[in-house]
Amino acid sequence: MKSVLAVIDLQNVFATPASEWFTPRFAEVLPPIHRLVDAFGNDVVFTRFIAPSHPEGAWKQYYEQWPFALRPPDAPLYQVISEFQPSSTVDATTFGKWTSRLATRVGGAGLVLAGVSTDCCVLSTALAAADAGVSVTVVSDACAGVDDESHAKALDLMRLYGPLVKVATTDEVLG
């Protein structure tokens, strides 16, 4: 089955050590992500987490906790890291990136997920896509969590959704 690779939130806000949302193993997942992006060619989508212009509901409390993040979508912290230059991105003001735009891009294909963070945006995207009936593969060594324990727990949780969600390594996906 043909699949589309979604590279979740490879943004400066998660890559920069000084950021409150820094993902410690961010740099370690870049080599496998480069391999995946090269292999998937035109079947790659990059996503970005961006702040809403006016938070609603529980998001108000969220941004009271993280006021630094209330920036416009073109703010440097929300840009995809410079070593990747996607022609366009799927932006969402939610953790999950399974939006109508991503669903349209995936069509009837499977979805392969890489990026950050395993325990938040990757997990949220995987479960929403699986609920929509999409075959999802999460690339374990091409994702990073807020810490190693959370990364491992998130992968274990997603394995519980098999056969809708599969966890595999880069080598297994490309093999």
Predicted confidence band at 159 (pLDDT cuts at 50, 70, 90)?
very high
Average pLDDT over residues 103-114: 96
Residue 1 has pLDDT above 80, yes or no: no
> In the Cβ-directed half-sphere of 164, how many Cα atoms lie within 13 Å?
14
Q: What pLDDT does 122 receive?
A: 98
Predicted confidence band at 56 (pLDDT cuts at 50, 70, 90)?
very high
Q: What pLDDT does 139 receive?
A: 98
| Residue 103, amino acid | A
Q: What pLDDT does 60 receive?
A: 97
Average pLDDT over residues 79-106: 96
What DSSP designation does 41 have? T
What is the enclosing helix (H) or strand (E) of 166?
strand 165-168
Q: What pLDDT does 30 receive?
A: 98
Q: What pLDDT does 6 receive?
A: 98
The residue among 3, 13, 2, 8 whose CA lies nearest residue 99 is 8
The residue among 115, 98, 90 whose CA lies nearest residue 170 is 115
Q: What pLDDT does 98 receive?
A: 98
Instruction: Return the residue matching tokens 């996607």.
Output: 86
Residue 86 has pLDDT above 80, yes or no: yes
* pTM for this entry: 0.97
Q: What pLDDT does 167 receive?
A: 98
Residue 165 has pLDDT above 90, yes or no: yes
**pLDDT (tens digit, 9 = 90+) per residue, 116-140?**
999 999 999 999 999 999 999 999 9
Q: What pLDDT does 49 receive?
A: 98
Residues in contact with 110: Cβ distance below 8 Å, sequence separation at least 6, in sequence order: 1, 2, 3, 4, 134, 135, 136, 137
User: Which structure tokens are listed for 167?
Assistant: 């966890």
